[in-house]
Structure 1
């Protein structure tokens, strides 16, 4: 009997040891998996993303109460860029661990060149079957996005707290994903210059500095009625093409700039702003808010060859792009004439000629 008890004790002890070893092994497997699990399964629950590089740039992308993504709690974020980042975070996959031969050097390199990524999500502390209680925002994932690999089709990445780095990629995408993790504020801001619908517009002021006589004002005088005034003499224009005016007033629903001007020095920009202003366009809404945009010609040097083989270098203007300054914003932006030409037609464009009468 005593012998049987001894065997039962030994068997029970073995069972306990097996359970403990299985649990440790299971935990170890989950632990290791967490260090290679970069993807976010539920991007709809993401509320904040913090990005910081190794040279001092950082940006906070956060979703406000209305569900609108903001940049550093100041600017509306670019929807396309946010969508691209969330898509990348959802499907980011591991190709393989970084090879041992290169691992230590890559870890050292990531300490100098990488972007820290913090992802915050709103989750329920209790989420069992259909019972969801105590919603709370918490930091769910932190990793470092490193440089592209030699193939330029993947990146190296390291989960915070891990000792093993991995090669990560985006299935179906040929390229590296690190540019989508930019820590520059300006890369995330919405590119909107004007975003106002026709019923909201009160006045539009056109100031043409190259041809002052072509300057004018459009004023709302009824729910769908406007008047045209010569800006210099403040003379009301008795007859104008209403279809053209309505088309123009309706053209401010979505006007975007192309990019921030980064190629020119501050000194060159100051000189350009001082000498190349050619137009100012100001739109006032029904609440009295004014959005004013200055436009500048972008110089371009052209070399013209003549039959004498002499070369004449003459200053022309870029025919595709211009620079703009939005009142209240410190940056200078690059924009396309393709977008702005239709908004800065001269006064004479809207007048009815004798042939049209």
Structure 2
């Protein structure tokens, strides 16, 4: 009887323990999901000073917050704000969508190991805030694989209000992060501007701010000064075009770069702002080649091309870029553009 009682007590204790374990399993699972291995979002973005992103093929990109609150690609100048904004949004808002099944974990880890990018976030003092790997997506492209550095459990992540693969926001390298603006100056901040057309010397000019006014004079000494009346507001109308002039892409690795730079450029523009910062852009024309094709309906042969399409641009003797003529033409004024036409004065 005594032995039976002891066995009964042991059975009740074991049963109670099992019931407690099973009843709290969901709660413990939730606590695990709320742990440090899934705390990816950086809510206080004011802490963030440096972002390091490394690819599996040796790509390295370091983005650093500058003194103006913007971002630079370390050692290469300003980062493109249109690229940085989606990246910072993902860093701030990434969250766990769900914990994958055990069967899916192995494949996710393999994808992260071969395709994932490592992301390290630092504060201004150089302290590591977060480090994780991100890359790969679910079959429906609505979830992104992610795992905290040093953790064993991967997750599927998402961002509220966004449907797609978050990893594309981190998937850039080198010049892809950089700002493609050639000029970005407010009218009142432009102190000096020279525009030189080597093949049209008489249209080349120098524009300077003199107090609250401006002077426009020929670039070359051999060019006679125009004596016609000045167009009121013409300088301001021209300078406003320099508030935002953007190239299409970087071409620093272009194989024919050196040979192109040996040719005569279409135009060279030098801008000096009130802080004495100088920006120089040299434009080399790209002529769209003529192509003759046959119209399928009429049978007639049509020739297209033979017009100015784009420019290669050398910026500050460093960057080789590609720019569209339709975007650039607004800054290609001639010396005579600032003066009234005498035929309209009579």
Both structures adopt the same fold (TM-score exceeding 0.5): yes
2:336 corresponds to: 348
TM-score, length basis structure 1: 0.76
C-alpha distance after superposition, 1:97-121 (max 9, x if no partner): 3443343233223222211001124
1:1-357 alignment to 2 at 5 Å?
29-30=31-32, 33-72=35-74, 74-121=76-123, 138-229=127-218, 231=220, 233-239=222-228, 240-261=230-251, 266-275=254-263, 277-286=265-274, 288-305=276-293, 316-317=306-307, 319=309, 321-329=310-318, 331-357=319-345
- Structure 1 unaligned regions, length at least 5: 1-20, 123-135
Residues 194 and 253 in structure 1, CA contact (< 8 A), matched pair in contact too: yes
Alpha-carbon spacing, 1:97–1:266, altered in 2? closer, same or farther (3 Å): same
Q: What's the secondary structure of 1:85's corresponding residue?
A: helix
The alignment covers a number of residue pairs equal to 319
Tell me the distance in 2 between the aligned counterparts of 1:174 and 1:302: 43
- Structure 2 unaligned regions, length at least 5: 1-20
1:18 corresponds to: none
Tell me the distance in 1 between the aligned counterparts of 2:116 and 2:85: 22
Tell me the distance in 2 between the aligned counterparts of 1:348 and 1:193: 24
Alpha-carbon spacing, 1:168–1:318, altered in 2? closer, same or farther (3 Å): farther
Residues 227 and 236 in structure 1, CA contact (< 8 A), matched pair in contact too: no
Tell me the distance in 2 between the aligned counterparts of 1:318 and 1:141: 49
Deviation at 1:287, TM superposition (A): 5.5
Residues 180 and 250 in structure 2, CA contact (< 8 A), matched pair in contact too: no
Alpha-carbon spacing, 1:233–1:335, altered in 2? closer, same or farther (3 Å): same
Residues 122 and 129 in structure 2, CA contact (< 8 A), matched pair in contact too: yes
Deviation at 1:160, TM superposition (A): 0.9
Tell me the distance in 1 between the aligned counterparts of 2:316 and 2:276: 15
Say what the alpha-carbon RMSD is for the aligned residues. 3.3
Tell me the distance in 1 between the aligned counterparts of 2:163 and 2:311: 33
Question: Relative to total residues, which structure has the larger strand share, 1 or 2?
Answer: 1
C-alpha distance after superposition, 1:32-59 (max 9, x if no partner): 7322222122222222211111111112
Tell me the distance in 1 between the aligned counterparts of 2:97 and 2:290: 49
